[in-house]
Structures are given as C-alpha cells and as structure tokens.
Amino acid sequence: MICEWHLSPGRFFSGLLFMVLLLSALPSPALARVRAIVSIMPQKFFLEQLAGDLVEVTVMVPPGASPHTYEPKPSQMMVLASADIYFTIGVEFEKIWVSRFRQLNKRLLFVDTSRGIEKMPMVTEGKTVGERGNPSPEGYLDPHIWLAPRLVRKISHTMADLLSTIDPDHRQKYQQYLATWEKKLELLDEQLYQATRPMQNHPYFLIFHPSWGYFAREYGLRQLAVEHHGNEPGPKSLALLIDQASKLGIKTIFVQPQYQGNSARVLAQALDGNVVKVDPLAENWLENLKTLARKLAEVYH
C-alpha cells in the first residue's frame, strides 16, 4: 500500500525501486523542457528567474515542511525518477536522501550549488551551534546560504552555467535571464543596505532558529538565537537570554512559521514584547528579504 512507504526511508526506498525500474524501461518522450529537482522553495524562485518556462521545477520540501525532518512523498519520487538534474544546496534533507535518489535515477545529474561558497560556522553571538544536539570542535557549518543576495549571485551562476551546458540550444536565453536577475540582485542589495542602516547603532536582533547569519553578516547585524544545538533553551538558559535581551532593549522575537514551541511566547511575555514570523524558506525570496529588512527597521528604528 502507498501509505506504508512513509514508515521509514528504508522501506519507502525499497517500495519504490521496482516501480522506478519499470518506468525506466518505458520509452521516454521527447523533452520539451529540462526537468529539474530542487530541495527548497527559494531554489525554485531562483530557477524561475534564470530559466522562465524553459525548465520544469519540482520542489522536494514543500511550504510548511522542515528540511530537517521531511520525507518525500511517493508522487515526488516518481517525478524524480524521470528528472534530468537535481540542484542541491546543502540542507539536512539532502544528507539523508540524496544517496537514495542516486539509486532511483542513475542518470540524474546532481549539481552542488553551494560550491565555491565558503560556509561559516553557525554562530550566534560567539556561541558555535552544534548540529542536531551534537556540537563538534569545528562547529556546525551554516547551510542557509540562500539568505544573502551576494551568495545567491554565486548560486545563480552555478545554475545558469549548468543549464547552458545541458541545454545548449537555449544558452543565449539563459545568459539573458541571468543578466536580468543579476540587476535585480544588485538593486535588492542596495535596498536591504538602506533598510538596515537604522540598525547600525543597534545591530542585535532576536531569532528563534539562527538561520539568518549570512544575512546579518552582509548588513552589519548580529543575531541572537533562542534555540541552540537544535533544542529549545532550558530554564537557566532562557533566564540568561531574557537578561541579555533586556539589557539590549530587545522586545521582538522572530520565529519561522514552522515553529510550534513555547519558548518564544514565554520570552516575549518576559520582555513585554511580541513574536513576529519570518520564513527563511519562503518561495517569493525577493519579497521575503525585503519584508525582513522592513520589519527589522520598524522594530529597532
């Protein structure tokens, strides 16, 4: 039964293998568009800027889901079985599933869009965050590279170059799309710089999950995180955070829409403040970054 495929990644993979082999034996129709797979919604937005309707995009982690825990649905795996390319970006979902994807579709081309980008340790105010409750001496390298426009420019070049290679008939079109997209990125960078200027004398902001480190670094800001090592803080840590936030005059806690815990609400009450939602995985990446900058400026101006 299809519902049984969600019991575990191992059983899920085994249950699909036979069907995928059957599909691979069927004649393939002529491709009208490149069939691309991405892990998260912002990547879909980038591809749409870079390829228009030349590429058919499937997203593995849908809106509202977490790339830390999501398991793909059978329908997604069936699409993946006939896809041409998978653009990875380094989220935890890929560490679990990419090896299985390779077995399901041996002709699928995997492209690491984080290549050439030096990732920084996932640090919040001097504290290096360990991965999934297991801190290492080197620290956990922050995967959220898609939240800084200058890094997105590098990601976009990797995507556009690969598309031009596998679909040379549309090379000129891809390069035109890339040039237009780069102008939008340059404009966004300037808009974000201007929007965050009021915070330069008060650069701290409080976030539940430390996902905005690259954004903060790019615009001279500093994030304080509620969550550490993948866990909500205990009473002692929460008390210290309340004291620190109070001294800095912080009253707003930013949380992702997927968050369902209690610490942010408790913290907001203690600070006589409020909770504001910002989504690092929002599909409309361009407007999402503008919205965050505006909310930061409103709160801390």
Identity of residue 79: V
Helix (H/G/I), strand (E/B), else coil: 72 = coil
The whole model's pTM is what?
A: 0.84
Q: Please check whether residues 34 and 183 belong to one and the same domain.
A: yes
Q: Please check whether residues 278 and 158 belong to one and the same domain.
A: no
Question: Count of domains in the chain?
Answer: 2
- Of residues 120 and 230, which shows the higher confidence score? 120
pLDDT digits (tens, 9 = 90+) for 122-152: 865 545 444 333 443 345 789 999 999 999 9
- Is 35 within a domain? yes
Q: Please check whether residues 171 and 240 belong to one and the same domain.
A: no
pLDDT category of residue 240 using cuts at 50, 70 and 90:
confident
- Is 131 within a domain? no
- What is residue 258's predicted lDDT score, i.e. its pLDDT? 76
Q: Please check whether residues 214 and 170 belong to one and the same domain.
A: no
Q: Please check whether residues 202 and 184 belong to one and the same domain.
A: no
Whether 12 shows a pLDDT value over 90: the answer reads no
pLDDT category of residue 52 using cuts at 50, 70 and 90:
very high
Q: Please check whether residues 174 and 203 belong to one and the same domain.
A: no
Q: Please check whether residues 273 and 212 belong to one and the same domain.
A: yes
Residue 143, φ and ψ in degrees, nearest 5: -85, -5
- What is residue 126's predicted lDDT score, i.e. its pLDDT? 46
Q: Please check whether residues 218 and 249 belong to one and the same domain.
A: yes
- What is residue 10's predicted lDDT score, i.e. its pLDDT? 53
286-293: long-range contacts, CB 8 A cutoff, minimum separation 24: 286/45, 286/184, 286/188, 289/147, 289/149, 289/188, 289/192, 289/215, 290/188, 290/191, 290/192, 290/195, 292/212, 292/215, 292/254, 293/191, 293/192, 293/195, 293/196, 293/219
Q: Please check whether residues 159 and 259 belong to one and the same domain.
A: no
- What is residue 257's predicted lDDT score, i.e. its pLDDT? 84
Q: Please check whether residues 210 and 288 belong to one and the same domain.
A: yes
- What is residue 3's predicted lDDT score, i.e. its pLDDT? 39
Q: Please check whether residues 14 and 111 belong to one and the same domain.
A: yes
**Do the strands 55-59 and 204-207 form a parallel or antiparallel pair, or are they unpaired?**
unpaired
Most confident of 61-70, 175-184, 249-258, 260-269: 175-184
- Is 139 within a domain? no
The answer to whether 36 and 55 have CB atoms below 8 angstroms apart is yes
- Is 269 within a domain? yes
Query: What average pLDDT does range 274-279 have in this prediction?
Result: 92
Determine the structural domain holding residue 291 and report its residue range: 198-300
- Is 141 within a domain? no
Q: Domain with 49 in it: what CATH number?
A: 3.40.50.1980
